[in-house]
């Protein structure tokens, strides 16, 4: 079992509040927009696994619409692939990912297994929603891979507390390397939708990609939702790479519940956690050029809170990998 030790002081710096008063004229069916805090935890412990992408954690905050900083408003209007009109939000995040081979008790893991690696990063982004139907998300991540990511200390600390086996192979992890990733995703909410006996069904396709020394890929896919009182969201958020969701959602006084399923396919040109360090020698494996994520889950919204659980199935990412990956994701979004 592995969980990231929360970096409370860093997340506090990130979550700078944006002042805005709730409207007194909001209807009973809806609550006025506010900024949204989101916590996401992804871990394979949910299904008794301990390998590959083994843990990810992220703290994020997104501003309310059109209360973003001036730089975000200007950038959203200047970027050629962003819509000229729409509600502009800014987003900020801090997170950490961990990757391990199959047997963490082996001091010298086989060379044909995924190398140990960690990724510690901060992120800033611009989000534009047009007519509550189209969502454009641009995010810049800056961080570090290697011992400076503190992944070894995080995993060993938690394993000691819960009396789990102590990971032995972190001396073979990727070396320190600064990393950056620019990601972009466009989603079309409820491009196809219908109602059957009071149940709502919709499908939200997406396209996007990433560019950087950590990840470079192009992706496309879709998410389908089925339930009651569906909020105007784009699915629960995930840690990238993965299906895009939305940190924000339409807050309602009614309880909403929906089930969802999604698929994302990626053409991968660069994955540092498989290809190894960019400028120095390190362990590496031969990656597969095409990777797919399939996911199913459930989300519930209670007034101003959204809680979701996602079961993710990931296809094999490198040629010597014996099985695909499998992990769970928990997300909680609340106004802040």
pLDDT single digits (tens) 23-46: 333 333 344 467 899 999 999 888
Phi, psi of 13 (to 5 degrees): -65, -35
Residue 295 CB burial class (10 angstroms; 0-12, 13-18, ≥19): buried
Of the given ranges (10-14, 45-49, 294-298), which has the lowest mean pLDDT?
A: 10-14
Those residues whose C-beta lies under 8 Å from the C-beta of residue 37, and which sit 6 or more positions away, are: 15, 59, 60, 61, 333, 334, 335, 336
Residue 57: band (very low, low, confident or very high) from pLDDT cuts 50, 70, 90 = very high
Q: 8-13+38-335 in CATH: which number? A: 2.40.128.140
Q: Which of 28-37, 166-175, 270-279, 304-313 has the lowest mean pLDDT?
A: 28-37
Residues 174 and 275: their CA atoms lie apart, in Å, by 10
Q: Report the pLDDT value the prediction gives residue 76, as an integer from 0 to 100.
A: 84
Q: What is the mean pLDDT of residues 59-79?
A: 87
How would you classify the pairing of strands 177-188 and 134-145?
antiparallel
pLDDT at 4: 35
Average pLDDT, the chain: 88
294, pLDDT greater than 50: yes
Structure tokens at 6: 């929360």
Neighbouring CB atoms inside 10 A of 112's CB total 13
With residue 155 as reference, give the H or E element that holds it. helix 151-161
Contacts (Cβ under 8 Å, ≥6 apart) of 182: 138, 139, 140, 141, 210, 211, 212
Question: What distance in Å separates the CA atoms of residue 90 and residue 76, rounded to the nearest whole number?
Answer: 10
Which residue is listed with tokens 């700078």? 16
Contact 118, 288 (CB under 8 A): no
CB-based burial of residue 251 (10 Å sphere; 0-12 exposed, 13-18 middle, 19+ buried)? buried
Q: Give the confidence band of 99 by pLDDT, cuts at 50, 70, 90.
A: very high
pLDDT in tens, 227-252: 998 888 999 999 999 999 998 887 77
- The phi, psi pair for 156, rounded to 5°, reads -65, -35
Terminal-to-terminal C-alpha distance of the chain: 30
> 80-97 burial by CB neighbour count: b if 16+ within 10 A, else e?
eebbeebbbbbbbbbbbb
What is the per-residue pLDDT for 250? 79
Predicted TM-score (pTM) of this structure: 0.87
Q: Which residue has the tokens 């399923």?
A: 261
For 209-233, give the DSSP string: EEEESSEEEEEEEEEEEEEES--S-
Angle (CA) 18 20 23, round 5° = 155
CB neighbourhood size of 222 (10 A) = 19
Least confident among 28-32, 94-98, 188-192: 28-32
Cα distance between residue 197 and residue 228, in whole Å: 11
Nearest to 101 by CA among 307, 294, 245, 317: 317
For range 217-222, the mean pLDDT: 98
The model's confidence at residue 8, banded by pLDDT at 50, 70 and 90, is: very low
Q: What is the CA radius of gyration of the chain?
A: 20
For residue 240, how far is the Cα from the chain centroid? 4
């Amino acid at each position: 079992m592995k969980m990231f030790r929360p970096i409370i002081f860093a997340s506090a710096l990130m979550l700078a509040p944006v002042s805005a008063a709730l409207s007194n004229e909001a209807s009973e069916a809806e609550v006025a927009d506010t900024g949204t805090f989101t916590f996401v935890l992804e871990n394979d412990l949910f299904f008794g696994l301990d390998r590959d992408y083994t843990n990810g954690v992220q703290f994020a905050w997104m501003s309310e619409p059109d209360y973003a900083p001036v730089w975000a408003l200007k950038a959203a209007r200047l970027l050629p692939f962003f819509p000229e009109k729409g509600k502009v939000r800014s987003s900020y995040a801090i997170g950490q990912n961990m990757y391990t081979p199959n047997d963490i008790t082996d001091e010298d893991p086989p060379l044909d297994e995924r190398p140990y690696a960690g990724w510690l990063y901060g992120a800033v982004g611009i989000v534009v929603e047009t007519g509550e139907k189209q969502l454009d998300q641009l995010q810049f991540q800056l961080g570090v891979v290697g011992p400076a990511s503190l992944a070894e200390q995080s995993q060993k600390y938690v394993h000691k507390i819960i009396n789990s086996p102590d990971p032995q192979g972190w001396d073979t992890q990727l070396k320190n390397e600064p990393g950056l990733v620019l990601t972009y995703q466009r989603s079309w909410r409820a491009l196809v939708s219908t109602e059957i006996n009071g149940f709502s069904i919709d499908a939200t396709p997406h396209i996007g990609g990433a560019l950087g020394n950590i990840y470079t890929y192009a992706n496309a896919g879709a998410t389908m939702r089925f339930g009651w009182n569906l909020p105007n969201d784009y699915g629960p958020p995930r840690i990238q790479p993965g299906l895009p969701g939305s940190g924000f959602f339409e807050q309602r006084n009614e309880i909403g519940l929906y089930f969802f399923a999604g698929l994302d396919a990626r053409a991968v040109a660069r994955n540092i956690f498989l290809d190894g360090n960019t400028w120095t020698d390190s362990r590496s494996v031969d990656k597969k050029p095409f990777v797919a994520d399939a996911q199913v889950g459930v989300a519930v919204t209670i007034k101003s809170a959204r809680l979701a659980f996602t079961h993710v199935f990931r296809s094999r990412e490198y040629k010597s990998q014996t099985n695909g990956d499998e992990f769970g994701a928990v997300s909680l979004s609340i106004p802040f």
